[in-house]
Amino acid sequence: MDVAVIGATGAVGREMTRILEERAFPVDRFLPLASARSAGRRVPFRGEDHEVQELSVEAVRGFDLAFASAGASTARAFLREIAAAGTVCIDNSSAFRMDPDVPLAIPPVNPEVLETPPPSRIVAVPNCTTITAMLAVAPLHRAAGLRSLVLSSYQSVSGAGQRGVRELIEQIEKLRGDEASLARPDPATLPVGEVVGTTIAYNVVPRIGDIEPSGFTGEEAKMMAEPRKILGLPDLPVVATSVRVPTIVGHAVSIVATFGRPIDPDEARAVLARAPAVEVRDDPASGVVPTPLEAAGLDVALVGRIRRIPDRPDALALFACADNLRLGAALDAVLIAERLIGR
Ligand code: A2P
């Protein structure tokens, strides 16, 4: 297949290229695309360097497949036209996720939406935190019928792209040797970057993106809307709080879920032990818990801290972690493509 990667110089785009290589995806022609800033740079793929071209509809014409990870505004500006010209687009941004003609797909969770190729020729990859949560929640939903969901996320800086990673590392460097002052910080001297907008080194920031008139951020709105579409539960009550934390790779999410019947932690562990793309890391006796750092680089979500909620036999609390660049983005896109081509 002739395959284009849009946003090939970015954090997810690079991971996508690596995964295409790792999984021996059937690529005949490989074309990395990015903004004009990166035109002429070179991207390695299968032992060869490929020159990055500036994204345009023309550049992608005739390609079978485009993996896009270049943000929602770039996706909105280009992908409908690229798809109309015949290229199947798998988009990592939020641009089309809630469009009725675009499937929102996590192959281990809702492969049925990919049974027939969508007439729009666009498939959307959910938000990385949604994917992490859904890998844990969907199998429990199938077992016991989900009734409500409360999601609180702990999201790494790579979720904001390479610039997010640089911002955290720069701030840690700036504060090196001065850590004791953080017990009584002078707000005027704390390092602040453009990406997070509040000091992220040695901090947690409960605001990812702008706070909307609803009181929720855009990130939270995605985490509330996307599970409803993926699980086919349009009226599911979902509340989300999304928080940026100073980890580099790996998102975590604390989940409180209620179900249509009683379900205890042992049953939940057994259900999750059989679920695809999930590994249970839950041993209260020996203190084994899932962490984002351990989930980084893995192709499974780690799930643990599964516990009952007092006086609520129909409710569970649990904690899930996944590599936001791989499982939460690039791998999902490649799994979607593999399904579409019947691999
Ligand atoms: P570039 O490197 O030229 O800016 P990240 O999520 O790590 O920030 O990466 C975003 C990716 O999207 C990068 O590859 C970036 O390219 C690409 N990108 C951003 N804006 C555009 C645009 N207008 N057209 C094409 N690619 C874009």
Residue 75 backbone dihedrals phi, psi, to 5 degrees: -60, -45
Query: Within 13 Å of residue 6, how many CA atoms lie on the same side as its CB?
Result: 30
CA-closest residue to ligand 1 atom 16: 34
Residues 208 and 285 in one domain: yes
Assess if residue 187 is contained within a domain: no
**CATH number, position 25:** 3.40.50.720
Report phi then psi at 332, rounded to 5: -60, -45
From CA 223, how far away is CA 240, in angstroms rounded?
A: 6
**C-alpha to C-alpha distance for 268 and 296, rounded to whole angstroms:** 24
- 234 and 91 inside one domain: no
Which residue from 135, 127, 320, 146 is spatially nearest to 236, judged by alpha carbons?
Answer: 146
Confidence of residue 130 (pLDDT cuts 50, 70, 90): very high
Residue with CA at minimum distance from ligand 1 atom 14 = 7
pLDDT (tens digit, 9 = 90+) per residue, 160-169? 999 999 999 9
DSSP lists the bridge partners of residue 238 as 149
Condensed to tens digits (0 to 9), the pLDDT of residues 254-273 reads: 999 999 999 999 999 999 99
What is the percent of the chain where pLDDT is above 70? 100
- pLDDT higher than 80, residue 343: no
Query: Do 6 and 93 reside in the same domain of the chain?
Result: yes
The pLDDT value recorded for residue 263 is 98
Domain extent, residue 69, equals 2-126+329-342
Q: Is the CB of 224 under 6 A from ligand 1?
A: no
On whether both 276 and 136 belong to a single domain, the answer is yes
User: Is the C-beta atom of 164 inside 6 A of ligand 1?
Assistant: no
Helix (H) or strand (E) holding 324, with range, is none
Domains: count for the chain: 2
What pLDDT is recorded for position 225? 98
Do 140 and 288 sit in the same domain of this protein?
Answer: yes
pLDDT of residue 59: 98
Burial class (CB in 10 A: 0-12, 13-18, 19+), 314: middle
Banded model confidence at residue 117, pLDDT cuts 50, 70, 90:
confident
Q: Is 35 in the pocket of ligand 1 (CB under 6 A)?
A: yes
The number of angstroms, rounded, from the C-alpha of 240 to the middle of its chain's C-alpha atoms is 15
Question: What percent of the chain clears pLDDT 90, i.e. is strictly above it?
Answer: 98
Q: What pLDDT is stored for residue 3 in this prediction? A: 98
329 lines ligand 1 (CB under 6 A): no
Contact between 110 and 228 under an 8 Å Cβ cutoff? The reply is no
Say whether both 271 and 294 belong to one domain.
Answer: yes
Average pLDDT over residues 247-252: 98
**Do 106 and 246 belong to one domain?**
no
Domain identity same for 50 and 138: no
Residues 120 and 231 in one domain: no
- How far is ligand 1, taken at its centre, from the CA of residue 300, in Å? 27
pLDDT digits (tens, 9 = 90+) for 27-67: 999 999 999 999 999 999 999 999 999 999 999 999 999 99
The reply to whether 194 falls in a domain is no
Q: CA-CA distances (angstroms) from residue 281 to 41, 142, 250, 314?
A: 41, 21, 15, 22
The Cα 270–Cα 282 span in angstroms is 11
pLDDT in tens, 84-113: 999 999 999 999 999 999 999 999 999 999
What CATH number is attached to the domain comprising 210?
Answer: 3.30.360.10
Residue 175 lies in a domain: no
Q: How far apart are CA 25 and CA 102, in angstroms?
A: 23
- Same domain as 234, residue 338: no
Tell me the mean pLDDT in the region 288-304: 98
Does the pLDDT of residue 143 top 80, yes or no?
yes
Q: Which bin fits 121, alpha (ψ -120 to 50), beta or left (φ > 0)? A: left
Q: What average pLDDT score do residues 325-342 get? A: 96
Q: How far apart are CA 150 and CA 308, in angstroms?
A: 15
Nearest residue by C-alpha to atom 19 in ligand 1: 70
Contact between residue 128 and residue 216 where contact means Cβ atoms under 8 Å apart: no
89 annotated active-site:
no
Does the residue 180 lie in any domain? no
